[in-house]
Structure 1
Amino acid sequence: MHILYVDESGDPGVHKFSSPHFILSGLIIDQNDWSSCLSNLKKFRKSLYKVYGLNQRTEIHASELIRINKLKTYQKIKKINRIKILKDYANQIPIIFNNSKVINVCLHIENFEDRDIFELAWSRLIQRFDTFLKRQAKDKGIVVVDDTDSIKLQNLQRKMRIYNPTPTHYGEGSYNAPINNILEDPFSRNSAQSYFIQTVDIIAHLLYRKEYPKGSLKKYGMEHLFNRLEPVLLKKASKSDNLGIVRA
């Protein structure tokens, strides 16, 4: 069994205040590695407490580490140290999850004005996970998500079990490739209660910072942190991107 933990960055809706992107990042963990990954995550969180004073029970939320909004407990940690927490996390992910893989979907919303961005991004992610399960893992899997539009996602996954049009390798037409290696509907998990969901939040945010570098953060090298995850990226997810990021 393989578990896909997923979190998102950005807003799939199109409105006055919507983000220019919608990102989904998924961390694939073999059930046989789950306990060791959790144990190593706990050790890592203990080290963050010793070095920066970040309580192990405090949720790690990437955007809040950069700019505090809701998590007031971050106020006792200097900004430079909050940035260092992100850097430490980026360094540790390929070590803690050395047998895992990460799928990333990054859609620039203006390129898909007539599409349902939520459905498009999730269908791409689900399809890649199912392909991974069939071809590489030869196994079954489940999907665990942070709070999202669970009913819409559930309906999408159920539809894809029956009808999932997939382009041919020759670029002409498509064929039906139902997803049949993903079990059950997606499971929702509160990110505050899951180190794994918090890890995927970090991954999605680092990809956002790579795609949309902010001038005020360049002095910290934030736009380069995502590349540190290269050892665990599922590059087969997209042949047109050197890091395997799915963009269409």
Structure 2
Amino acid sequence: MTYIAYIDETGDTGNPQLRGASSCYALGCVIIDLDVWPSVFDSLVAFRRQVRTTFGIPLRAELKANYLIRDSGPLRGLGLAPSQRNYIYQTHMQLLSTLPAEAFAVVTDKAKTGWRGKSCFDGTWEMVLQRLERSCSKQGRTMLLAHDNGENDAVRALVRRARRYLTAGRMEGGGGIQFKADRILEDPVPRTSHHSYFIQLADLVAYAGWRSYQRPGAGVAAVVPQSMWSHIGSATKSEVNMWSLNGSVPGVVLRTR
């Protein structure tokens, strides 16, 4: 039995003190069982048809958090109010539990960790790979990875290294454990986000995960309030941080040190 995990990022890995840089870097992950992938895809297409009928958003339009927040990209000119864009975002989150799918996010606070650039990118991705490997091992499954096109070489190198060596902290006590992410099949597959509804969902998951940790300003909150993550409901992969002590919500792994 095999899963496919779709992964996308939000924010950047640069210095958070610089103008225009994000305070956090986050990855969102949407997991689909390959045995039901065709029916899940059909359900997602049917949902997007409803969005087109209700709001006039074309099926081929890319729906990502930034476009919904800023009323930009393919949404520009449609005259959608913040409340309508909030509804679109919220219904995407609620859809995850009916597809069916699972979702989680890893959020790195760049100021608290001191991570920048490669250390931030690698550390956040490694945490995602740890959670995926542990889940696959417990369930006796294998996994394929698909991610947004961009840092293809860096992601491929991380996955190849993870097959040989990964570490994770213990649930109790100090120290850590070492293992291999050898249930990940092949190299990760880069996908152009506007060609993949699943990558777009992962983007929305990533941003909602970030905002569950850091409260957005009033303008952003009109579309993506801090409570947006809760709408994922039963699709939340809560075991990824069920032993967390840093106050994160279920399904959102925080890197603060």
Same topology, TM > 0.5: yes
**Following the alignment from structure 1 to structure 2, what is the Cα–Cα distance between the partners of residues 28 and 183?**
15
More moved, 114-123 vs 201-210:
201-210
**Which residues in structure 2 correspond to 1:222-233 (within 5 Å)?**
222-233=225-236
Is 2:54 the partner of 1:51? yes
2:63 maps to which of 60, 64, 76: 60
- Number of aligned residue pairs: give it: 244
Q: Percent identity?
A: 24
**Following the alignment from structure 2 to structure 1, what is the Cα–Cα distance between the partners of residues 177 and 71?**
47
**Following the alignment from structure 2 to structure 1, what is the Cα–Cα distance between the partners of residues 167 and 49?**
46
**Following the alignment from structure 1 to structure 2, what is the Cα–Cα distance between the partners of residues 173 and 58?**
47
**Which residues in structure 2 correspond to 1:1-248 (within 5 Å)?**
1-14=2-15, 16=18, 17-69=20-72, 71-80=73-82, 81-97=84-100, 100-114=101-115, 116-136=119-139, 138-210=140-212, 211-219=214-222, 222-238=225-241, 239-240=243-244, 241-248=248-255
Return closer, same or farther for 1:77/1:179 CA change in 2, 3 Å cut-off: same
The alignment yields a C-alpha RMSD, in angstroms, of 1.9
What is the TM-score of this pair, normalised by structure 1? 0.91
Structure 1: gaps spanning 5 or more residues: none
Deviation (angstroms), 1:73: 4.6
SS in 2 for 1:246: strand
Deviation (angstroms), 1:183: 1.0
Deviation (angstroms), 1:149: 1.3
Residues 89 and 223, structure 2, Cα contact 8 Å, conserved in 1: no
What is the TM-score of this pair, normalised by structure 2? 0.88
**Following the alignment from structure 2 to structure 1, what is the Cα–Cα distance between the partners of residues 27 and 253?**
10
Residues 145 and 187, structure 1, Cα contact 8 Å, conserved in 2: yes
Residues 66 and 79, structure 1, Cα contact 8 Å, conserved in 2: no
> Per-residue CA shift, 1:136-187, capped at 9, x if unaligned?
2x11111100023111111111112222233334433233211110011111
SS in 1 for 2:96: helix
Return closer, same or farther for 1:242/1:84 CA change in 2, 3 Å cut-off: closer
Letter in 1 for 2:142: K
Return closer, same or farther for 1:167/1:85 CA change in 2, 3 Å cut-off: closer
Residues 89 and 224, structure 2, Cα contact 8 Å, conserved in 1: no
Letter in 2 for 1:246: V
**Following the alignment from structure 1 to structure 2, what is the Cα–Cα distance between the partners of residues 6 and 127?**
14
Residues 53 and 77, structure 1, Cα contact 8 Å, conserved in 2: no
**Following the alignment from structure 2 to structure 1, what is the Cα–Cα distance between the partners of residues 205 and 172?**
32
Letter in 2 for 1:174: G
Letter in 2 for 1:140: T
